[in-house]
A and B are shown apart, each in its own frame.
Chain A
């Protein structure tokens, strides 16, 4: 009996050869992909592109000015949208029905319209309102205030704030109500509870979609080119209108977008780690 068992255990390894599963299609599909990439590379090398001019456009003073404007616009619009989004989210969760109703309408409106349309409406505001004023406090001509930058900031920022409001609301709602009760039970005021207990935990839910949205915002600034705001695309067009090297300047702008998005992704990674689960 005992010797039978021993042979049964030993048999597979000592007498039979083990054949590992083969994956021939992995080799085939891998080869196809490499072939496609090589083909694209070959096509690009044969294209009528002055590659040697691209680095010059990459660091062209006009391009760098456009880069700076793009960064300022994206950061300002996103920053404002986050602050506004928190306020709208709190209104959305408020006990006051008027505030809730306002928040729902706000999100419906600013999320519902294309950003490009919103930018154009703000930029053309002077056509319907000659002055922006609060009676007896101040009054300024609309066309002085509503520069291309301000119009782009409002168009991008207000649209984004509607998305941020939903992201922040989801984050706040994701925190267990037991956390609020525990905070209350040690005598915390509502504001301290929000600041010390709820928001830090909501951040874990808020950060990933916010990072995603910020990457969208960086690229969305390109829409400000239609109102002649000097961001990257408008800068590229300015340069190429003089030398007609359209693709070369666009490639230089494209490289800057990839640099910015890569940096934003790295930043997001570290933020997520800072607020990640313990």
Chain B
């Protein structure tokens, strides 16, 4: 079974249907980029995978577990928030606006999950967190507060914070959209090395270059539906759908 399986996912905000039946499979170790015009529902879908949004219809499984539900006696029971929190431990998420905890240092941000959520030993977690900061190139910024870091540095700390929970899956919600152009590269470099190490990733992005060089598969969404999917070479260089061609003509 694929690590992520989404079948017929529908979601409405009020009277607006933003997801109109999304089907998607992501295999272990695969990197999938979600592309498409803004308002296509890419971020909403990503948030549904992590149960930050509930879905109205369809089902999402992560590692064989139905997201937001517990199955027992042939029924699916909706989870309470405490139980949903338990499910989210295995899925890391990186946000457009970083969302680091501003009252804690970079190191404390990274340690927060393992210590507070997993209840692990502080000293052990500290060593791991320092190694993670080293990995994203920020070992010397361990004791800095988020306000003292650039956007690119904050986003790399946010990636380290997500990795500290040792997730099976990483979700990236437009991780470089809030960055100054010269800071985009350092974040994409970290994501690229993460992909090379075999992390399963779903990435919502407008960085076509990143999708082309790193993604195993590209999924093109328009108006809450999958329009085209395939290898980056197929979708980006030989788009079959007119809607895909239109979009690529604008961003490339």
- Residue positions of A touching B, CB distance < 8 A: 176, 178-179, 181-190, 192, 196-197, 200-201, 275, 277-278
Whether the pair B165, A201 counts as a contact (CB closer than 8 A) is no
Question: Is B100 part of the contact surface with A, judged by Cβ < 8 Å?
Answer: yes
Given A185-B95, A187-B117, A188-B116, 13 new contacts (CB under 8 A): A181-B95, A181-B99, A185-B88, A186-B88, A186-B112, A186-B117, A189-B85, A189-B117, A192-B117, A201-B103, A277-B102, A278-B102, A278-B146
Q: With a CB–CB cut-off of 8 A, which chain B residues contact A176? A: 99
Q: Which residue of chain B lies nearest to A276 when distances are taken between CB atoms in the complex? A: B103
For the complex, give the distance between the alpha carbons of A56 and B3 in Å: 81
Choose among A190, A201, A275 the residue that contacts B85 (Cβ–Cβ < 8 A): A190
- Residue positions of B touching A, CB distance < 8 A: 50, 52, 81-82, 85-86, 88-89, 91-93, 95, 97, 99-103, 112-113, 116-118, 145-148, 158, 161-162, 164-165
Whether the pair A179, B117 counts as a contact (CB closer than 8 A) is no
Please list 27 pairs of residues, one from A and one from B, whose beta carbons are closer than 8 Å in the complex, sorted by A's number: A178-B99, A179-B99, A181-B52, A182-B93, A182-B95, A182-B100, A182-B101, A184-B50, A184-B52, A184-B88, A185-B91, A185-B93, A186-B113, A186-B164, A187-B85, A187-B86, A187-B113, A187-B165, A188-B85, A188-B117, A189-B82, A189-B85, A190-B82, A190-B85, A277-B102, A278-B146, A278-B148
Q: With a CB–CB cut-off of 8 A, which chain B residues contact A278? A: 102-103, 145-148
Whether the pair B52, A185 counts as a contact (CB closer than 8 A) is yes
CB distance from A274 to the nearest CB of B (A): 11
For the complex, give the distance between the alpha carbons of A176 and B101 in Å: 10
Q: With a CB–CB cut-off of 8 A, which chain B residues contact A275? A: 103
Q: With a CB–CB cut-off of 8 A, which chain A residues contact B89? A: 186-187
For the complex, give the distance between the alpha carbons of A277 and B116 in Å: 23
For the complex, give the distance between the alpha carbons of A277 and B118 in Å: 28
Q: With a CB–CB cut-off of 8 A, which chain B residues contact A187? A: 85-86, 88-89, 113, 117-118, 165
Q: Which residue of chain B lies nearest to A196 when distances are taken between CB atoms in the complex? A: B116
Whether the pair A178, B95 counts as a contact (CB closer than 8 A) is yes
For the complex, give the distance between the alpha carbons of A137 and B86 in Å: 40
Whether the pair B116, A192 counts as a contact (CB closer than 8 A) is yes
Q: With a CB–CB cut-off of 8 A, which chain B residues contact A184? A: 50, 52, 85, 88
CB distance from B74 to the nearest CB of A (A): 28
CB distance from A278 to the nearest CB of B (A): 4
In this complex, the member of A186, A201, A275, A278 whose beta carbon has the largest number of chain B beta carbons within 10 angstroms is A186
Q: With a CB–CB cut-off of 8 A, which chain A residues contact B161? A: 182, 186
For the complex, give the distance between the alpha carbons of A181 and B100 in Å: 10
Q: With a CB–CB cut-off of 8 A, which chain A residues contact B145? A: 278
For the complex, give the distance between the alpha carbons of A134 and B183 in Å: 66
Q: With a CB–CB cut-off of 8 A, which chain B residues contact A182? A: 93, 95, 99-101, 158, 161
Q: With a CB–CB cut-off of 8 A, which chain B residues contact A190? A: 81-82, 85
Choose among A185, A189, A196 the residue that contacts B92 (Cβ–Cβ < 8 A): A185
In the A-B complex, list the 10 residue pairs whose CB atoms are closest, starting with the nearest.
Answer: A187-B89, A186-B113, A182-B99, A278-B145, A185-B93, A178-B99, A187-B117, A189-B85, A187-B88, A189-B82
Q: With a CB–CB cut-off of 8 A, which chain B residues contact A188? A: 85, 113, 116-117
Q: Which residue of chain B lies nearest to A191 when distances are taken between CB atoms in the complex? A: B82
Q: With a CB–CB cut-off of 8 A, which chain B residues contact A185? A: 50, 52, 88, 91-93, 95, 162
Q: Which residue of chain B lies nearest to A195 when distances are taken between CB atoms in the complex? A: B116
For the complex, give the distance between the alpha carbons of A188 and B165 in Å: 11
For the complex, give the distance between the alpha carbons of A182 and B118 in Å: 16
CB distance from B104 to the nearest CB of A (A): 9
Choose among A178, A179, A189, A201 the residue that contacts B81 (Cβ–Cβ < 8 A): A189
Choose among B88, B92, B101, B148 the residue that contacts A197 (Cβ–Cβ < 8 A): B101
In this complex, the member of A182, A184, A275 whose beta carbon has the largest number of chain B beta carbons within 10 angstroms is A182
CB distance from B203 to the nearest CB of A (A): 15
Whether the pair A178, B85 counts as a contact (CB closer than 8 A) is no
Q: With a CB–CB cut-off of 8 A, which chain A residues contact B158? A: 182
Whether the pair A179, B101 counts as a contact (CB closer than 8 A) is yes
Q: With a CB–CB cut-off of 8 A, which chain A residues contact B85? A: 184, 187-190
In this complex, the member of B50, B103, B117 whose beta carbon has the largest number of chain A beta carbons within 10 angstroms is B103
For the complex, give the distance between the alpha carbons of A184 and B83 in Å: 11
Whether the pair B117, A277 counts as a contact (CB closer than 8 A) is no
